[in-house]
Amino acid sequence: MALPQTPYRPRLDSILAAALILLAVFALATAEIQRDSLWFDEGYTLFVVRDDSRLPDTLPGAARFVFDSVRSAIERARADVHPPLYFILFDGWTLLAGESVYAARLPSVLLGLIGLAGTYTLGRRLFDRPTALIAAAVLGTASIFVYYTREARMYTLLLALAVLATLAYERWRSHPSLLRTLLYSALLAALPYVHYAGGLIFIGHALHLLLTRPRQSWRISLPGGVALVLFAPWIPSLWWQLNTHGGPAAPPFTDLSVGMAALIFFFTGGYWGLYLIPFALGSALTRLRQHGDALLLLALWLVLTPLGLLLISLWIPAVFQVRYALGVLPAGALLVAFGLRWVGDDLPLIRFRLPRNTVRWVRFALLAILLYTQITVYPYVWPPKSRWDDATRLMTAARQPLEPAITSIPAHNPAAYYDRLYDIRRGISLDLAWRWQEPADMANYVAHMGSAESVWLVMPSTFASTWDAARELLASRHVGYRDSVMDMVFYRFDSGPADDLSFHFGDQLGYDGGIRHELYAVPGDDFCFNLSLTTQIDLPPGYTIDFYLTQGFDTLRAATTLDIDAAAADDPIQLMPCIPIPANSPAGPHHLRMRIYAPQGQQSLPVLEAGTVYWSDVLMFALVHVG
């Protein structure tokens, strides 16, 4: 059955309503766009497009500068796990607008509005004006949509292109002219250039054409083939990324049911039943035949991308993240809008029709409840991002000009951005990000700062060199200032009585020992050591501890696992783990690491210093000399 086609006659009231929705969503998205600091992924975005070269003062120099800047952005994007199109566009934007938090996030807002306008246009084409307006309102207030309009990443561009490609598909399907074919092909090619998950949108289009017009389904091979040709130059880079990284850095969902549950939760804010109510209070279900083609297109669009990502995660590398499926959000909004559009019309359980004004008020009330729920659920589903701005500002305010600092600030870390704002490394500063540092290096650096009253340490807690520096500083100092953001610690060590760090694993277990241990092991023997823990709560059975012995840049040399028996609160736990050291294990300094897992789900416990300062989920509590 063909999609219903009606001549498009712009109406002033519809245009004004759509414009008001766009303005309202713009106001909603930008209202708190600068409230949160840039977080880790956004720091990487700015790293990709960062260019410290001097701005040219000639036209040829400017052209060369732009060319080099774009080439650098492509090379850095290739070194990550994402394709380059968003970064190329973002690079051009930052050359014009700068890299303030507002400027960095504004493109995501504007791209989200393009996706919103595309959703309205598609809803108008597939259904009618009321459905299109409702869909725009539902999409524009969805908490996940608002969140990603406030993040300097590629996800609203993915959403906008998914909508435009689906709109182009529908236009091409009704009349496959050369111009429409080329436009549709270009949009299909652009999708995987923004995010690889975008390539799955084409599968939904192809399957829709096969199910609705099987005799003409071969035609989609032309735009699909052109899109593949356009994407082909990047395929070697994609292959390199797969073989180098294998998948995203963030933990992916590998269980089908858990992944779908997470998707539904983040798309609906946990109120998924609210989105089903309209279909029980109107004639939407009875109109399936009338709008069968359109609803099938939306259903395939909504389901195939997340399902495809989950299946890939089961068979090849684990890749599924909820944000990767953001391109299907307009399909969900259009389906919900279709249900709301027919609320009160021919109610299945009522044999008489409600008055028209009553129907409108019922529909408006349901829509208002849905929009209110989506807006108010935002802070519960999307808590504030990590407080980089606050932590770096407080640290630089507390640091005196002559207090030396040992730092390691990777260029892709958000700390690098806030270093440019607040000058973390001003004055006497030794930055160690340029190479891997051995324990002897850290001892040498700390020794050269022995006469300083205070020494700052600003380094990632995931680096073994950070723990080595803290160990050396604590030999003759105590902590006078402590703070952390994500994996970056901001500590000041003051002269005075020697001290140690006090660690807890969440609110479950306390570690009795500090990090100032130097132990010795022999290759071919069992390396045994004492470990003392104290329960903070009644501890159920099922907790486990992984011990790792690593060398150099996190190279694993030996490991073992122990179970922790159930215990009452405040009970001491005494353990003596033994790690077999391979006979061929290289001699030299190693780091003894410990990670504790909670039962059911194997979630690792956070490592907190002084009860509140987060370090990581791994405690490096000893330096072990092997040999």
Partners of 478 in the β-ladder:
494
Residue type for position 527: F
The predicted-structure confidence for 296-337, as pLDDT tens digits, reads as follows 999 999 999 988 888 887 776 667 788 999 999 999 999 999
- The two tokens of residue 374 are 């989506």
Angle subtended at Cα 252 by Cα 251 and Cα 256, rounded to the nearest 5 degrees: 145
Cα dihedral sign for 182, 205, 265, 257? negative
Residue 102, number of CB atoms within 10 A of its CB = 12
* Interatomic CA distance for residues 609 and 619, integer angstroms: 10
Q: Indicate if 503-626 has the same CATH topology as 392-495.
A: no
* Interatomic CA distance for residues 595 and 601, integer angstroms: 15
The predicted-structure confidence for 574-607, as pLDDT tens digits, reads as follows 999 999 999 998 999 999 999 999 887 568 999 9
* Interatomic CA distance for residues 4 and 601, integer angstroms: 49
* Interatomic CA distance for residues 381 and 267, integer angstroms: 10
The pLDDT value recorded for residue 258 is 76
* Interatomic CA distance for residues 547 and 591, integer angstroms: 10
Provide CB contacts within 8 A for 472, sequence distance 6+: 442, 443, 446, 447
**Residues of the chain where predicted confidence (pLDDT) is lower than 50:** 1-2, 6, 349
Strand locations in 22-122 (E): none
The pLDDT value recorded for residue 304 is 93
When computed from its CA atoms, the radius of gyration of the chain, rounded to whole angstroms, is 29
- The two tokens of residue 68 are 């080099």
Query: Is 272 within 8 Å of 335 (Cβ atoms)?
Result: no
Tokens 């006090």 belong to which residue? 502
Query: Is 13 within 8 Å of 384 (Cβ atoms)?
Result: no
- Where in the chain are the domains? 17-381, 392-495, 503-626
Tokens 């993040």 belong to which residue? 151
* Interatomic CA distance for residues 559 and 581, integer angstroms: 9
CATH of domain 503-626: 2.70.50.30
Residue 511 class from Cβ within 10 Å (0-12 exposed, 13-18 middle, 19+ buried)? buried
The predicted-structure confidence for 357-394, as pLDDT tens digits, reads as follows 777 788 889 999 999 999 999 999 998 999 999 999 99
- First-last CA distance in the chain: 77
Collapse the DSSP code of 94 into the 3-class scheme (helix H, G, I; strand E, B; otherwise coil) and give the result. Answer: helix
On the CB side of 500, how many CA atoms lie within 13 Å of its CA? 11
Task: Please write down the HEC assignment for all residues of 481-547.
Answer: EEEEECCEEEEEEEECCCCCCCEEECCCEEECCCCCEEEEECCCCEEECCEEEEECCCECCCEEEEE
* DSSP secondary structure code for residue 96 in this structure: H
Tokens 């294998």 belong to which residue? 246
* Interatomic CA distance for residues 275 and 379, integer angstroms: 20
Query: Is 296 within 8 Å of 286 (Cβ atoms)?
Result: no
- DSSP letters of 599-622? TTT-PBPPEEETTTEEEES-EEEE
Provide CB contacts within 8 A for 456, sequence distance 6+: 395, 399, 403, 404, 405, 406, 407, 481, 490, 491, 492, 493
Which CATH architecture group holds 392-495? Answer: 3-Layer(aba) Sandwich (3.40)
- The two tokens of residue 184 are 């549709």
Collapse the DSSP code of 278 into the 3-class scheme (helix H, G, I; strand E, B; otherwise coil) and give the result. Answer: helix
pTM of this structure: 0.89
Whole-number Cα distances in Å, 339 to 1, 36, 277, 285:
20, 35, 8, 8
Angle subtended at Cα 263 by Cα 261 and Cα 266, rounded to the nearest 5 degrees: 105
Provide CB contacts within 8 A for 490, sequence distance 6+: 391, 392, 395, 456, 457, 458, 481, 482, 483, 484
Tokens 């504790």 belong to which residue? 596
* Interatomic CA distance for residues 509 and 572, integer angstroms: 10
H-only helix segments in 281-433? 292-315, 329-341, 356-376, 378-381, 388-398, 414-422
